Amino acid sequence: MELKQLKAKSADELKAHLTDLQKEQFSLRMQKATGQLAKTHDIRRVRREIARVNMLLGQQK
């Protein structure tokens, strides 16, 4: 998701999105550990999006 789209969300929506991203990150880590992960770049994408959401949550406080 782009930064513009994330900025348009409220704090509650960002927290919900963060929870979803953390679940996705866990799933990707488990896939990597079992050797089932085909798209290794997804781990990096999710990690960076989590950082973006955390940054926006920090700015809104």
Question: What is the distance in angstroms between the CA of the first residue and the CA of the last residue of the chain?
Answer: 22
Q: What is the pTM of this model?
A: 0.91
Q: Which two tokens mark 2?
A: 């782009």
pLDDT in tens, 11-47: 999 999 999 999 999 999 999 999 999 999 999 999 9
